[in-house]
Amino acid sequence: MTYTTLITVDQLTALQAGGTPTMLFDCSFDLSRPDSGASLYAQAHIPGAVYVNLDTDLSAAHGRPGKDGSVIVAQEADVPASGGRHPLPSRERFAAWLSSIGFSNDMQAVVYDRNNSMYCGRLWWMLKWMGHDAAAVLDGGMAAWQEAGFELTDRQEPAHFQSNFVLKDALVNLATTASVASRLGDAGQTMIDARAAPRYRGEVEPLDPVAGHIPGALNRPFTDNFGADGRYKPAAQLRAEFETLLAGRDASSVVHHCGSGVTAVPNVLAMQIAGLGTPALYAGSWSEWSNTAGLPTRQGPDP
């Protein structure tokens, strides 16, 4: 059995009991305290999980500040695939990282965090970008594991043998600043912004130099995809909510974005769960758009 969107705790434990090659990834993170995710993982994680750091493993080094405050310059092999505050690494660099931790093409990937699925979707999407379909988000995250009565561990996980992960054709669509800008206002492109409504309207902006949103973008905060229990809403409910938001627009025209391309992914996944296809992701998102000279911005609700 292969899981490609969500996986429950019961389904995960059944896979493990059945001997299916599976790798668990703990993607816990905190934007305000980037080192805290690793510390939390060291204190407690699902047994067997590998820790993944958003800044160092799931983002290119280029543009990130070093510990001394200097800006890290990308090596040739690390030319980013996107811009913004969390630029995507090249597909080749990320494939090499997957090989270095022992992940192989025959494995089922299961990703989770302790942040209401805020960060683990990034790895889920990147695996699809690598052409690896057997990747799923643990519905409810680490909290669901604990609620089911399973224990956590603070044991240091053993290193995995080097594998030879092979890149395949991407299973998801990556939009660029150039492609988004060239179709701005086109009926064939529907932008959906996953940030909270005050940031979308430009009332606050804690991270980027310009407040507001891409003109014409709709707003669906990524948190709207979850119920009170932290799990994704049922497929029928997600479909109804997206169809209301789209108001007749073609689901295949959707391009999701957020601040830096991370929290937009729950919207991408939710549309897949809802049976609305595979929308594109603008990974550079507002942090790249607002730092690109000459591009229009808008404040307030979009007309």
Tell me: the pLDDT tens digits for 170-218? 999 999 999 999 999 999 999 999 999 999 999 999 999 899 999 999 9
Let me know if 258 is a catalytic residue: yes
The percent of residues in the chain predicted with pLDDT above 70, rounded, is 94
Number of folded domains in the chain? 2
Q: Are 215 and 184 in contact (CB under 8 A)?
A: yes
Cα first-last separation, the chain: 46
Average pLDDT, stretch 275-292? 97
Q: Please indicate, yes or no, whether residues 246 and 285 belong to a single structural domain of this protein.
A: yes
Q: Are 129 and 171 in contact (CB under 8 A)?
A: yes
The verdict on residue 157 lying in a domain is no
196: domain CATH number?
Answer: 3.40.250.10
Q: Please indicate, yes or no, whether residues 137 and 190 belong to a single structural domain of this protein.
A: no
Query: Helix 235-246 and helix 265-273: axis angle, to 10°?
Result: 110
Q: Tens digit of pLDDT for each residue in 111-136?
A: 999 998 999 999 999 999 999 999 99
Q: Please indicate, yes or no, whether residues 10 and 143 belong to a single structural domain of this protein.
A: yes
- Residue 78 — very low, low, confident or very high, per pLDDT cuts 50/70/90? low
Average pLDDT, stretch 40-46? 97
Q: Please indicate, yes or no, whether residues 143 and 179 belong to a single structural domain of this protein.
A: no
The percent of residues in the chain predicted with pLDDT above 90, rounded, is 88
Average pLDDT, stretch 95-109? 97
Mean pLDDT across the chain: 93
Q: Are 161 and 302 in contact (CB under 8 A)?
A: no
User: What is d(CA 198, CA 133) in angstroms, rounded to the nearest whole number?
Assistant: 35
Q: Which of 258, 262, 265, 269 is catalytic?
A: 258
- Residue 71 — very low, low, confident or very high, per pLDDT cuts 50/70/90? very low
* Angle 251-257-258 from CA coordinates, rounded to 5°: 140
Give the end of a domain, one of 100, 129, 147.
147
Q: Please indicate, yes or no, whether residues 114 and 20 belong to a single structural domain of this protein.
A: yes
CB-based contacts of 159: which residues, under 8 Å, 6+ apart?
A: 102
Q: 9-23, 65-79, 275-289: which range is least confident on average? A: 65-79
Q: Please indicate, yes or no, whether residues 10 and 141 belong to a single structural domain of this protein.
A: yes
Q: Are 67 and 173 in contact (CB under 8 A)?
A: no
CB-based contacts of 162: which residues, under 8 Å, 6+ apart?
A: 99, 100, 102
CA distances from 209 to 7, 98, 191, 283 (A): 38, 34, 21, 18
Q: Please indicate, yes or no, whether residues 124 and 180 belong to a single structural domain of this protein.
A: no
The verdict on residue 130 lying in a domain is yes
Q: Please indicate, yes or no, whether residues 178 and 281 belong to a single structural domain of this protein.
A: yes
CA Rg, the chain, in Å? 19
Question: Would the pLDDT of 6 be above 90?
Answer: yes
- Residue 112, domain extent: 6-147
Q: Please indicate, yes or no, whether residues 139 and 250 belong to a single structural domain of this protein.
A: no
